[in-house]
Structure 1
């Protein structure tokens, strides 16, 4: 065994340098990775960064997602939740721990699909795509029905069987499409557009049999929902089982719980139609019999009312005679009434001669003038007395009347009345107003 020479120089790294080198090697040699796992030990310090472990059944790794990145995550991570992340491999130098720096995170599996479904449903709901007011009524007894589904599935066989049994008169046209897998949604939407614009169908059924959420997912795609909403003919969505509800169910004019139920809704039962036809025939036969009996009775009644022409002429002649007699009597009565009205008018004219009316009006006018003069004289005297009284009262309260009784008013040089001796000063000049004239004075002493 060789021993190191004392003069050989050793290359020694510090722990910090080692960790820094390892971090550089990891980050420069391992590209961005997609990793799935379960969250555990999830913590959020005051900085807003996320720290947790991502684990599976056999191992775990520390993860960090900084605040600038986790703001774009559409859900709140929780312990036990399966997630799919895109991250770069790194090393936390402070503790020498291997870790993942997460750039992107999304829910994995069923949870992610459900969140995506709810977001799309909310978006289309806000646009009014599911509004009941835009739903159309299905046609009664459509002569041509289009079916968009897989040509090999059980759903198409069930629908054709039900339509053939219940309503064999209807013409059925199949538009074969893939109902699951990559690109299925675009193919379904294209088939809806072509079938709706073909002008051959009165009704369109779109659907498939049951399956998992992933299997039914093409019917949750936005392109299918918009194609159904834009379809110019009424549509029925029949996807999966009764418990399955897809976005296409909400966008179509009607949702059927199953494909077989859609065929029953779209068709009329032939036996029921024949029974309704028989019932209508019976009601029509009875109505015709009733109408014929009514017409026979009406003919008998009219025949009994018919009279010989001679009898009718005699009745008409007698009727004319009666009219002539009534007209003559009415003319005489009218003449008498006009004569009475004329005599009454003559008497009224004598009573209402203009000269007489003018004299009456003149007398009334003279009486009114006399009354007006008396009232005017009374009013003038009353108002004069009232004015004198008010003048006497005004004189009694006038300051000049007080001065006539020997009083005087002291005022300062500005002409303001002096009411309080405390406002005066010695040797101040004041003006004294008397009942007749005024004079100036100077203050020598001031008392209370």
Structure 2
């Protein structure tokens, strides 16, 4: 033991190994080829336990019942097989063990590997996950792409004629195994889509080995099914057989017979359904007729139908009353309208243009007389006021003052009034304006008024 290293228990070591193997992605989906030895199968659980070995090594293996029930052969010691599964640890014994999920005889191992690779490739491209087309409920023509001599075509034709003989069967013969089979099948699907004569296609064959079914695992067939506008039913082999065509097709049938049953309805079931619907329709019609008969009976029992004349007499009497009321109403209405018309005529006469014109003319004459009188009165008052103002103005006139001996003194040659003796000097020329003329004078001297 190295100093400083942790000491593990056996359980811890086995648990660590268990988790390490389970987390390794490379060990979760492993294909192993080897020879079976020490084979045994539990009598109750049906689990299988054996050893896979080659010339240099061996490993314990287990295949549980859920996986081994799909095997197409019974394993035994000495069988050389190709097994797919994952690696883990059986913790009770601490042994690394190979848990098998699928197993085939080794003779076809390469085909299974090719199958798995093509399946993963097409799945990644989305060929398996595209929306599936719905099958028509009552196809007029069903196209069958298969071998014309195999049991599959006989089963399909027999089943379809028994279930729904109204549907036409259009057979496109092809090889279903061999080198030419994939191309023939793909061309047949494309040709059916080009002709557009079929409403649904059945592509398949009877059971067989993996090699015999391999044409339906080819990429060219898968892509032709994917391109098909017509819905495709894949019917290859038996229920346990699975092909690439099954994943791409719109529907997968376990057998060719099941494909025929899926493609067309059962005419007997349709007859039964029609009979049931017919009975329901008759019952509904009978019930509806009975309801209307009862309503008719109740209606005919009403008095209006028992003695229709009585109601008519009432309506006739009512009509007479209404006519009388209408006549009275019309007379009253005419009287009211006549009175209203007379009133409007009277108002119209009052508002006649000639009458209104006379009134306006009289009014205009009165306005003229009043205006002339007011103007005369106003002129008289203005003349009186003017005469009084003239008297006042004449009283204040300088000429009136000068007539009493007063005069106005101006500088000579100027219209400047001399109001003070200080405004002139001896020798200045002045003009003296008197009431009857003007004097031109020269100042010889000035004398200041001491009193004032």
With the length of structure 2 as denominator, give the TM-score of the two structures: 0.45
With the length of structure 1 as denominator, give the TM-score of the two structures: 0.45
